[in-house]
Structure 1
Amino acid sequence: MAEQQRPTHFHSLIIEHAPVWVNTLDTEGRITLWNRTAERISGYSREEVVGHKGVWDWLYPDADYRAALMVEVQAIIQEGRSVAGLESVIRTRSGEKRTLSWHSQQFFDIDGALLGASAIGEDITQRKQLEVRAEQQYQLQALVSAISAQFADLEANEVDSAVADALHRLGEFFRVGRAYVVRFRPDLQAMDLVNEWCAPGVTPFLDDMQDIPMEAHGWVTRQIRKRRTVHVPDVNSLPEVAAVEQAEFRRQGIESLLLIPLISDQNAFGFLGFDSVAQRREWSPEQIAALQVVADIIAGTFARKQAELELARQARVDGLTGLANRRELDAVLERECRSRREVRLALLMIDIDHFKPYNDRFGHQRGDECLRRVAEVLRSAAHRPTDLVARYGGEEFVCILPDTSLDGAVAVAEGVRAEVEALKLAHPDNEFYTVTVSLGVCAIAGMGEVEPLEILERADQLLYRAKREGRNRVCAERV
């Protein structure tokens, strides 16, 4: 009899110490066997589960999910269905979710009587996590590729829209609260939030976070300027030196964040940021690497946009004085003369008196400096956004003053004349012994279109009248 029992005992030991979950059920679904691996994975001891079926409520607290699984169990017990590779997600005693792959079939005694069902479960949680991560990484790579394609050959005026779309897509992909771009100002004293996407219900900060002193976030900005990625899975773990940032992050409800430098010519000029609001998260090295590619794409696009804008600006600007050039003057004057039913416009033409003798006596370097000083006076005098000051050619300048009466234009012109004289730039060949200017001023107020050439020629005639009458004066008239 003892010899007949050894195999049974031996088999029991194998089951007890098997590296997989093994349990058996009776025909009512009650647990009849629960091995050590089942205890270890579930957190529930055999004393707690053997003899009843309450463990199903503990492992599968969602009633609908549990009911669907019990249909499978009953099919195995009552109908003799075999299951291979059925996956289910349990909740362990500690609250952790684990994924198991089940092999189950009917279970009979030695006489062939149905006892219930046996089940062998393999814990595949880690494998499933790896599969999920691999799939997410694949999707992220596809998203990065799509963003890269979207940013190819963008016009300067399309950049902001493309950045906004990229932030939206990345924010939704990672299920964060905010995705945004911050740019440092050229003097590195302040920074601005220039693009932002927020999940529903998350407070936006685009209007509030402008002209923020960089020193107010010194720890973060120092890391970024050193071209370091700032990855903070838990803001509560920030070092003491980042206490100011920590308080601000808590105020904004941020639990975790990731900040990636935007780099151009080896210098960081801002960062791409992601805030996890109301819950903590940690970005994997693979995710960070993919987002660094996006940051490089955005940084390169910003740099290209800046270069294009600078080229466009240079095409409209006089290189010596920084004022508008003749091409820009012609375009603006044409627009001003044609854009209104009632044209109300004043124009000043300015010429530096006896400039050629000044240039001959002092040389081109002093002559260029004189032109720049006069240009600064003009720029200060015509300070409204709609005003335009242009270098017309040589030592001549033009000011366009929209919506300005003749009296108003004369007041501006007299101010310019007095300010230039007050510069006290020595000019021995001028009867006033200092640099002066003469100005011709004309103003238009009336219905219908006005020819740009007409107003220019009239201002030029008035300028030369001022010169004939003794220079350092203003001649004006209504056209």
Structure 2
Amino acid sequence: MAHIWQTLLGNLATVALMMTAWALLSPSIRPRFGLSREAFFGMAMGGGAVISMAMSAEIKPGIYFDLRAGLVVSAALFGGPVAAVFATVMAVIFRLWMAGAGATIGVAGIVAATVLSLLMREAAGSKILFRHVAVLAVLQSGAAYLIGNSSVSPLRHLGTAVAGGAVGLNFVCILASGFIILKLRRITMERDLLRAALAQSPDFYYVKDTKSRFRFANEAVARFNKINDPAAMIGLSDFDIAETSRAAALFDEERHIMATGGALVNREECLAGENGERWFLTSKVAVHDSEGDVIGLAGITRDITERKHLETEIVQSRDLLKQVMRDMSDGLALFSETGVLLFCNDRYREFFPATAHLRVPGTHIRTILEGVVASKEQTNLPLDKATWIEDIARGLFADHDQDIQTDAGRRLQIRTRVTCNRMALAVVTETTALKQSELAFRSLAERLQLLAETDGLTGLANRRALDEALAAELDRATAARPLSIIMIDVDRFKAYNDHYGHLMGDDCLKQVAHCLIQARQRPDQMMARFGGEEFMVVLPDTDAAAAMDFAEHLQSKVIGMGIKHAKSEHAIVTASMGITVCAGSRSADGVTRLLQEADLALYDAKNAGRHCVRVFGKTDEMLQRVFS
């Protein structure tokens, strides 16, 4: 009996050895024969089952006991139908070849194990776990016990200890096989994942032995060295793929790393290639075994050409930006979302010399404004300085334009805009010259306007200004606010001009115009030259009686000048005047009609002997006076 158990334990060791051999040899042997993973796995498990049966313990003549079930179960459960067919056929053929009384029951047990395993595989789905193995071990052990104790089985007369021990050992064998395969699967998956990642990475990964010969190189390394298969790199050194001088330098570098057990980190190197210069970043580290001895070197090299080009462009852009910021005429300042100054150019500080020491990165806007208040750098600040500081600080994060004047007389425009990331960008432009030009243009415009509306000889308003004033005042005239106009004509002026000459005539008109200006009583009263020797006085909010009083006053001033006029019946310069009054709205031709009425009144005055005043439509004695 002891011999039987020794044989079975040896059988168990054989099963474990077969599983390990399959795991180690499968990656290298399977591709050589062109077999699929499932077929090779089934053949390996079937071979293990054959070996297990060959080393089986013969309990009675023709009745053998072994651990073939664990291998057949593993083939079907983990390899699927293809692996199950290979393993089952090999096991069945060998068991039939062994013959004996238990051949039929043995074949039935193999087939039952295969069927149960395939059913469990289907139930488990895509991911088989150890619990599925345990359940299958229980089912398989139960099936084996039932088959062994069936009425037709020659095994039913075996003792309970032998039968139970055999079933238990198979149970353990199935669990052990499943555990080993699951563990090997996980290790293989992690290894393959790592190998694939290294092999397919765009960076250069490689491992060298202590003699600097390649033991591993990924596809990028092989491709760079114009070698089709990375496996062909194994055993080569840098002397086989690089120029002698560079290979020698790399060899000395790696010897030093492995001698010191240290590392090389981020060494940049520029190499000339077919398409120009390429930049590479290399790191290497010595590899130690479990005892701490150096057994080789691992390295990674990365192509950083694009990064170097980008860095160059960034440096050039930065230098260009600095130059632009330095040479630009505007001041520029960038504030963070909390109001802290992040950046400003020199021009920005030059605009504010009194607070330039505060306008540096890291200073809060409130500190800068407090400095403005303390130094009185900005004029026209409100009395409540604290509120002003808070308003400016809060308004920093809203788009706005602001015009300020400094104590140095500079006028500045500050345009603030909020960026997409909630920062505030302030652009300061000096507008001193612009403001001065604006004032100059405004003054010129006013002068041109004055010239356009002023008579060149007398300095009074011209006909254009008169027409505009009459139209405006006529619209405002009402019964309560009548509008009066006086048309004035210098008597016998043509005779005066002919007798004294045009220069004296012009001087006479100037003196009459001076009298009109002196007679003005209110700012809204307009004195204008109507044409030739004719003048016009516009009197808003004035009735006929008041207009007559104004005309009398004006007559006295003209006479008071005492300008000699040898051709006048009065011996001095005199003037005739016609008055008309508008006390309500007029039609569209109101101005023309008003001028016609004044002209008619003036005509009456001239017919009455000149040197008198007439009011249009009035015959009352009070309104018709003749001056002697």
Q: Normalising by the residue count of structure 2, what TM-score does the alignment of the two structures yield?
A: 0.33
- Tell which has more relative contact order, 1 or 2 (C-alpha 8 A, sep 6+): 1
Higher relative helix content = 2
TM norm structure 1? 0.42
